[in-house]
Amino acid sequence: MPVFKTPFNGYSVRFSPFYESRLAVATAQNFGILGNGRVHVIDLSPNAPIINELIAYDTADGVYDVAWSESHDSVLVAATADGSIKVYDTALPPHSNPLRSLKEHVREVHGLDYNPTRRDSFLSASWDDSVKLWTLDRPASLRTFREHAYCVYSVAWNPKHADVFASASGDCTVRIWDVREPGSTMIIPGHENEILSCDWNKYDECLIASASVDKSIKIWDVRNYRVPVSVLNGHGYAVRKIKFSPHRRNLIVSCSYDMTVCLWDFMIEDALVGRYDHHTEFAVGVDLSVLVDGLMASTGWDELVYVWQQGMDPRAA
């Protein structure tokens, strides 16, 4: 399976929603503590297990997340450590990029998510405890959501309801929001420790997952969230990112500071159905392809990006 070496530490990887062989990778120098960043746009070779770099964009600060536009196949947004969001268009020459820099957050931007239903807007999550709503045709955010008492690490749009999203925070809660409402519509006190990631199930719009420093992943039904539907234990350290499968209702993938990527079926008793230990440093980015069933990608602080088919060894040539 192909591997791509990045000069900096990997932070996030995302498959393109338009091209099955294309991915974007967010990286940061010196483990994201201090230094530059780089966004890589990479392509899988159709004939060989090789990854080619299409283009790379350098930033003055670390890049913590990337998200592809759902309406323009060449546009992506990047979350940076200086609090700005960079907008890039791979169809334009390098000197025309970034198209713009959206600067409102006063601390690091840690998470991004593009609206898959409406396709014209995206969310940013920041260490300034807020979430902001943006469209690319406006220089200022449409709205700021402030309720969390600590860093917001992750945001996720509901796949069925275009106005509903969730945010995960270091204040140990997941909040559910509707952009038409003045405040959050639900607060899930999900974990005893910081919540680093959240994601909605792609087949049941009432199911949401949360991942925490407490090493667990919990699946919640928003219609009755006092008790989780499922608790997934198996990681040895904090769970950094989770993603529900776009192809299978009960599958969820996770990556952790224990350096592993895990695959879970949350509806069966022995929920851990796959464990991949290919990374040699913190595994902090993971994604599943919307276009190719079972195609996975991960990145980590070992400066490597792996792309592989579920069930295969990521390190196999």
Q: Do the beta carbons of residue 208 and residue 222 sit within 8 Å?
A: yes
Check which CATH number belongs to the domain holding 242 and give it.
Answer: 2.130.10.10
Whole-angstrom distance, CA of residue 178 vs CA of residue 185: 7
Q: Which pLDDT score is estimated for 1? A: 78
Q: Which pLDDT score is estimated for 32? A: 82
Q: How many domains does the chain have?
A: 1
Whole-angstrom distance, CA of residue 210 vs CA of residue 166: 10
Is 156 part of any domain? Answer: yes
Confidence of residue 180 (pLDDT cuts 50, 70, 90): very high
Helix, strand, coil percent values for the chain (each to nearest 5):
0, 50, 45
Is 222 part of any domain? Answer: yes
Confidence of residue 316 (pLDDT cuts 50, 70, 90): confident
Q: Which pLDDT score is estimated for 23? A: 98
Is 316 part of any domain? Answer: no
Is 18 part of any domain? Answer: yes
What digits encode the pLDDT tens for the residues 272-306?
A: 999 999 999 999 999 999 999 999 999 999 999 99
Whether the pLDDT of residue 195 is over 80: the answer is yes
Mean pLDDT over all residues of the chain? 97
Q: Which pLDDT score is estimated for 317? A: 63
Expressed as residue numbers, the domain containing 266 is 3-309
Is 28 part of any domain? Answer: yes
Q: Which pLDDT score is estimated for 206? A: 98
Mean pLDDT (whole number) for 137-164 = 97
Mean pLDDT (whole number) for 119-135 = 97
Whether the pLDDT of residue 48 is over 80: the answer is no
